[in-house]
Amino acid sequence: MRLRRYFCFVGVCWLLLVSLFCDADQIETSPSSAIRSVLDMIEWIGISDGEFIMGSTEEHIENFYQESKLRSSMLERPSFEAETPQHKVYLSAYQISRHEITNAQYRVFINQTKRPKPRGYKGEDIWANSILNVDNQPVVGVTWFDAYAFANWIGGSLPTEAQWERAARGTDGLIYPWGNSPPTRKTANFARHLNRPSMVGQFPEGASAEGVDDLAGNVWEWCLDQYDPNFYQEISDPNPANFRHKNVLTDRVIRGGSWDYGRVFIRSSLRFKLYPLDSTNNIGFRIVRRINSEMDR
């Protein structure tokens, strides 16, 4: 059993390294037509540099926790405590994709790189399911490594947890991307209202002030960081990101909730995690890139 785990670990590391080298190579050369075609499909929203409020106060999390208990969410108190302390974070300017990466965009990537197709928790073919395979739906059934590879292939990155939260909450620490009013059917795809991921950008009333869509609900979004509930207590640097664990299979941060999760989970400061090799029918991603990056020219 230990030997099997070892080979599994080595295999994953190998795949990761290969994808990193491949992507690094692509970044240095001019983009292929496939990459260009995907880039043409992606709309970018610029986020200017500066400070924003990240996390929640003790008072806030107490309220959120009490509400969560009444909502039978099964979230324990430590899930909320991981949002503390509330702190200011400086981020350099970046661009974030307005929408989650779609099936159409991901298909180009798969065809080009021969990486595995999206698959569900039990390995089922996500694209064989007609409620998940529509071109303009966000791709789901991708592991963190899949998402990471795509982001690198396109010349970008997965958002750090801080970048994701800044895009969702603005600079003022909003509860939801659209503000502090409760979510409705018109602002987000959540609580099984549609019982599937919606087409991206279908909830304009739920966009952030800067115009980023679907940050609440629709699909969970992989972030770059490893998950550490104590990370907020220890960071003070600009542009924080957590890669401190040596184990490449450490849980990664996911954010934003999804179509089949309730209101508790789509709050923009809620930190959630997932094993990086897991792929389910509610996990997708979006990407970020530096402003004036090579790919932008």
Minimum Å gap between C-beta 168 and other proteins is: 19
Kindly state whether residue 264 participates in binding other proteins, applying the rule CB under 8 A: yes
Question: Does 295 participate in binding other proteins (rule CB under 8 A)?
Answer: no
Find out whether 66 and 213 touch, Cβ atoms under 8 Å: no
User: In the set 194, 249, 291, 295, which binds other proteins (CB under 8 A)?
Assistant: 194
Does 177 bind other proteins (CB under 8 A)? Our answer is no
Distance (Å, rounded) from C-alpha 72 to C-alpha 220?
20
Kindly indicate which of the ranges 10-18, 116-124, 142-150, 183-191 contains the residues binding other proteins, using the contact rule CB under 8 A: 183-191
The identity of residue 80, as a single letter, is F
Cα–Cα distance, 177 to 193 (Å, whole number)? 19
Q: Which is nearer to other proteins, 160 or 280 (CB)?
A: 280
Q: Are 295 and 39 in contact (CB under 8 A)?
A: yes
Q: Quick check: 185 binds other proteins (CB under 8 A)?
A: yes
* 195 is a site residue for other proteins (CB under 8 A): yes
User: What is the C-alpha radius of gyration for the chain, rounded to an integer number of angstroms?
Assistant: 18
Is 183 near other proteins (CB under 8 A)?
Answer: yes
Among 166, 223, 260, 273, binds other proteins (CB under 8 A): 260
Interface residue with other proteins among 106, 203, 231, 261 (CB under 8 A) is 261
Instruction: Tell me if 182 contacts other proteins by CB under 8 A.
Output: yes
- Paired tokens of 10: 């080595």
Sign for the CA dihedral angle at 12, 14, 20, 23 comes to negative
Separation between Cα atoms, residue 242 and residue 160, nearest integer Å: 8
Q: How far is the CB of 67 from other proteins (least distance, A)?
A: 6
Residue whose C-alpha is closest to residue 99's, from 20, 181, 177, 4: 177
Is 67 among the residues that bind other proteins (CB under 8 A)? Answer: yes
Q: Which is nearer to other proteins, 224 or 274 (CB)?
A: 274
Q: Is 263 in the site for other proteins (CB under 8 A)?
A: yes
**Separation in Å, CA 59 to CA 125, 151, 231:** 44, 37, 19
- Other beta carbons within 10 angstroms of residue 75's beta carbon come to 17
How many whole angstroms separate alpha carbon 52 and alpha carbon 268? 13
Q: How many residues bind other proteins (CB under 8 A)?
A: 21
Which range of residues in 79-87, 147-155, 181-189, 229-237 is near other proteins by CB under 8 A?
181-189
Q: Give contact residues for other proteins (rule: CB under 8 A).
A: 67, 70-73, 182-186, 190-195, 260-264
